[in-house]
Structure 1
């Protein structure tokens, strides 16, 4: 009798736990996503702390292991240790797996976990997955037909996420292998480094497996272009990749989200390259000693990497202060929604820019490409910018107080962390433990997403069945 009770008690406990998890998935997917990501960070912190993960066979300190785990799962690329020298082959495999898991995204990962738990993609799971994969929404509720991904396409989208990651990384690795060999990398070592670079570029992480990083390929335009294309594909987002895969030659069938993402991304890339050309052309430490072709190529590469790529051919600390400020602006924007990139996202910037232009023109509604952008999307965009600016400001103040470092260096690394970019002025590697934890928290908040954090805190949305009297305060 006691034996039956002892076996049924754990079973009841598991059933209760499963019921709790299912309730959490259906009631608050955003909070569930945060829990999943936090759990993954703890697991990878433990793995990276193991002596087998370090090249010298010693345990890695908690601050360095935690920061590397956060940077890996959040596909950031910042590091407090020498990535090429510190980690063993086992540690590099852990990093490789971690960035691919993190690259799938917080909300997509939560949707997949919900599918595993429920064993099937039912209507409720479809509603959650559709909401999570939609860049305009970060919480439950009625699913609008105008959303980026419709209910009938959710299963296909989730498949696209996995397949596009495998296919794109595979193609990039095949293209990079001969370039690495011609650059002097040992052919056997290149068999590992090519897929490693492919994963780090597509997930917009920026870790490098070799000493010197991508600087050793500074004169190899083919390798640099392949890396830029991989970063671009990772930064535009899975919904855009899905749309292009279905309607690549039918622009009229592209969603408004796809059009805004591609146009804004290309525009920022060109403007960033022009800005770096103008600001660095006579800087002898960066582009001043290069000819016109090299200067143009390096400016384009730097512009692409400041969007979220994280690779760098030049030493960031050698940039002029004006260039570092321009890079901060690009990093704060980041890449596309539901992508491997961070930042406030290009669609957020596009929506706000269109809203400002419409207001200046005196239009009653915000419209683009024959579509009206509803007011709730505009409010979400404004909230994302406000929360993002608040996180960056608070983190900058705290780390500046801890380190007493130059404010432009602190601001650069904080925005790089928030935008999960991975570029550094050199400050991150010198941070004390307290500063390391603050920067790790900034990375986590930047990757999980400000709207997701707000939705998780709110937990539920309340309907208001009345409206208060209108009064207009003076603005401006």
Structure 2
């Protein structure tokens, strides 16, 4: 009888022990813990308990490394609350399963097969044998960039703005961690608008954002290939080339479009415009910091920013979006179809059909999520289409940029953005597989028939 009951449960209930579902549950667990900590009286400057929605929104935004806020970070949250946010950002950036795998590696000096598979789900490594190296690389790359950028910021805050050493250290570490993890949380009410023309602040933060957005597998391969005696993998080549092209396009288009806008770049000198334009072009990749008022940008600039946010950064990175590899692979698929080629070839390699289907699935599910989220915001709030779409893409792509309307969406709008941030962080395919009751394998094929396309 017990055996029959167990078989029935396996038949009709989802197996939450599968790696993809463990990732979802882990993120939910950390968000729940973060929400509880932020609801403690000690977490606010007023000493009163934060309301549930504000705490949940902030915790989700931190764990999902987004940066959207419904309350002002430096004025609403105490030092304890800010440290909780910083810890959640670091945990979300590294990946819950990556941290668990690191702890297991340190304690037992080895990784079990199940733990390796779980880590592979989070880090999205290509080969199971590379998981251990990637996990070590996650920690080393993260610490290296965060310490280096924090050092620059600490010195600048101390020498350029007269901060006390302890204050400079706190601000430097906080912004370094949130920058590398593409979170976008800042310790100033106007985010980083007070440093718009300061290259010693903006450039290191932008570099940290770009570094975190490339992805841990790419950095591990860069390190392994530092002597130039190894062949680059297709993933690394696509990520580096596409990221560079999108960076040039983003910086160039946004800088030119806003050059004479007196509400954004137009109020600065030539040097300040270049610094602020570079910063504005990097942030959609997907950090969420802003040194100019996004709400005052031209409509064309907002459209370009939407596109860059939706594409996002590299796979297995701290960035969000559909990822540059997904975007590039779909572009190659379209190119091959236009040319009438029976298969897709990318940089000297043939692209598997399964990979093409995966890229298409990620892109279409993401479009569906953005459309649904935008419709919900338009229904629940009085936002215009332009601002609702921008807010939705920013949340889903875990960017954190806003035109200043996040607080105007109300509790129901906040819940919509929370769902979008969570979905964007764990990924459409991961979430879908976690919610699916079971996997099905097709044991036969039906007769082929070709419908009319277009």
TM-score by length of 1: 0.88
Q: Find the partner of 2:63 among 46, 68, 73.
A: 73
Q: In the alignment, does 2:146 pair up with 1:156? A: no
Q: Which piece of structure 1 moves more, 42-51 or 355-364?
A: 355-364
State how far apart, in whole Å, the 2-side matches of 1:367 and 1:337 are.
20
Instruction: Kindly indicate whether the alpha-carbon contact (under 8 Å) linking 1:80 and 1:429 is maintained by their aligned counterparts in 2.
Output: yes
Q: Which piece of structure 1 moves more, 417-426 or 273-282?
A: 273-282
Q: Deviations over 1:165-189 (max 9, x none)?
A: 2222111111111112234151231
State how far apart, in whole Å, the 2-side matches of 1:117 and 1:195 are.
28
Instruction: Kindly indicate whether the alpha-carbon contact (under 8 Å) linking 1:76 and 1:204 is maintained by their aligned counterparts in 2.
Output: yes
Instruction: Kindly indicate whether the alpha-carbon contact (under 8 Å) linking 2:180 and 2:208 is maintained by their aligned counterparts in 1.
Output: yes
State how far apart, in whole Å, the 2-side matches of 1:451 and 1:111 are.
22
State how far apart, in whole Å, the 1-side matches of 2:328 and 2:169 are.
40
Q: Which piece of structure 1 moves more, 160-169 or 350-359?
A: 160-169
SS of aligned partner of 2:192: helix
Aligned position for 2:277? 299
**Number of residue pairs matched?**
443
Aligned position for 2:255? 277
Aligned position for 1:329? 307
Q: CA deviation at 1:26?
A: 8.9
Q: Kindly report which structure 2 residues correspond to 1:62-461, keeping only aligned pairs within 5 A, or say none.
A: 62-105=52-95, 108-109=98-99, 120-134=110-124, 148-187=125-164, 188-250=166-228, 253-458=231-436, 460-461=438-439
- Change beyond 3 A, Cα 1:367–1:252: farther
RMSD, matched Cα: 2.4
State how far apart, in whole Å, the 2-side matches of 1:439 and 1:391 are.
11
Mark the runs of 5 or more structure 1 residues left unpaired by the alignment: 1-19, 135-147
- Change beyond 3 A, Cα 1:112–1:383: farther
SS of aligned partner of 2:47: coil
SS of aligned partner of 1:213: coil
Q: Deviations over 1:422-449 (max 9, x none)?
A: 1111111222111111111110001110
State how far apart, in whole Å, the 2-side matches of 1:68 and 1:58 are.
16
Q: CA deviation at 1:316?
A: 0.6
TM-score by length of 2: 0.92
Aligned position for 1:47? 37
Mark the runs of 5 or more structure 2 residues left unpaired by the alignment: 1-9
Q: Deviations over 1:206-238 (max 9, x none)?
A: 111134332222221122110111001100111
- Change beyond 3 A, Cα 1:85–1:183: farther
Q: In the alignment, does 2:28 pair up with 1:38? A: yes
